[in-house]
Amino acid sequence: MKRARQESIPDKIQRYKGVILVVSIPLLLISFVLFLMPRSPAAPKLMTTEDMSTVAVGRKTVPGGLGPRSYAVIFDAGSSGSRVHVYCFDKNLDLVHIGKELELFVQKKPGLSSYAEDPKEAANSLVSLLEQAESAVPVELRQSTPVRVGATAGLRTLGDETAEEILQAVRDLLRDKSSLKSQPDWVTVLDGTQEGAYQWVTINYLLGRLGKKYSKTVGVVDLGGGSVQMAYAISESDAAKSPRTSDGEEKYVKELLLKGTKYYLYVHSYLHYGLLAARAEILKVAEGSSSCVLNGYHGTYKYGGGEFPANGLPSGASFAECRSDVVKALRVDEPACTHMKCTFAGVWNGGGGDGQKNLFVASFFFDRAAEAGFVDANLPVAKVKPSDFEEAAKRACKLNADEAKATYPHVSEGNLPYLCMDLTYQYTLLVDGFGLGPWQEITLVKKVQYGDALVEAAWPLGSAIEVASLT
């Protein structure tokens, strides 16, 4: 049998050309369509460290590494001690971390007013604080970083001449030994209304309330050593009704433009009514032995260059009698009050209103509450009522000096004899002085949560915001 001839490839193509055309034409059409379609985007790359330099931290987006920054160094030269705050801002004046914290905060005792006889030594007491502040600022930014020194009520009590000698010594120190940017008028005694306004700005800034209508802001009471300030936003109509002040006195209302919103800020500072100064005023009423001083204590209270007998009564301290002395010291029924509504010592109360309803109370209020044991010293804020101070005062007034020492281990020896007095004063100041209800809720504040960090609820931040926006 003959072997069949093997068919060539061209012969096969010729024989199956119909089938090939049927199959290839659709394939060519599909390829053409795919060629015309837009290409799919490349897969996204992973974010680098630089891409992630802007991180969200709560209510703000805060640059974490890149972008322009500015620093501000603010000294709070108070009556009970000196403190330095260092802040870092981005271009939007939002706080930026300095290391792990949103501020550098260092303090030491005593305050500048304790060096009344030696102004140079007063200035030298700030050296260690200054060195720590400078170390927190990058070398290349130090010459452009403003440093302010705001002395408060402690220096106000020394008299103009003595206070100015101390301030000049501080100016000389900053000029000769600091690499930071200083100006003579940045070292000054703050008037009380400045201090109160800065404190109001600080707390409302940290809470994210600036830029909102005034009724959404919070009011502030700041109890320092030498003075107490109250500040809260009021309506434009109430501002128009504010009483006129005498020549040389600060006006009751300041107009502030913050985050595009105009605020009418009622603010008043009561000199001689800070916690330490008020002790002297209360002891003046007692004239020797005081129902506010714990039984078993006999001594002399020194404040502002004066000395006041401070002796406990044999019968012991008494909350009711102490409260009577405090009311007299506050001059609650001051006949000079010519306005419809007054706080104490003849001062207009601002009219009240929405801006005062949510009240944040700072400084010595928090400290004494923690020492008396009715708030946790480790927490930044606490919700309390004025009646909590009343109850704490009644407990403290029943003790003698030795019993108080065992009961209140966190109160310093110098403050123990006056614990009944301090707590009674704080209750009376809130209720009789500022007109709060005994069971009205208030917020004791030491620090405020801002993003992922806690920031001191102190006036220097308000000053830093002002100077940073000007430089």
Rounded CA gap, 104 and 101, in Å?
Answer: 7
Nearest Cα neighbor of 111 from 172, 157, 180 is 157
Quickly list DSSP for 150-207.
EE-HHHHTT-HHHHHHHHHHHHHHHHHH--SB--GGGEEEPPHHHHHHHHHHHHHHHT
If you ran DSSP here, which 8-state letter would residue 417 be given? G
Rounded CA gap, 56 and 424, in Å?
Answer: 44
* The total number of residues written for the chain in this structure: 471
Q: Are 370 and 412 in contact (CB under 8 A)?
A: no
Residue type, 326: V
Q: Are 268 and 193 in contact (CB under 8 A)?
A: yes
Rounded CA gap, 242 and 30, in Å?
Answer: 83
Name 325's Cβ contacts closer than 8 Å, sequence gap at least 6.
282, 285, 286, 290, 291, 292
Quickly list DSSP for 298-352.
EEEEEETTEEEEEEE-TT---HHHHHHHHHHHHTTT-TT--SSSB-STT-B-TT-
Query: Is 140 a catalytic site residue?
Result: no
| Catalytic pick among 195, 371, 390, 456 | 195
Name 415's Cβ contacts closer than 8 Å, sequence gap at least 6.
371, 422
Q: Are 91 and 57 in contact (CB under 8 A)?
A: no
Name 228's Cβ contacts closer than 8 Å, sequence gap at least 6.
221, 222, 269, 270, 273, 274, 429
Strand order in the sheet with 82-89: 104-108, 82-89, 70-77, 147-151, 187-189
How many beta carbons lie within 10 A of that of residue 20, not counting itself? 11
Residue type, 105: F
Q: Are 277 and 157 in contact (CB under 8 A)?
A: yes
Name 198's Cβ contacts closer than 8 Å, sequence gap at least 6.
190, 459, 460, 461, 462, 463, 466
In the block, which residue shows the tokens 């010459």? 143
- Residues with catalytic roles: 195
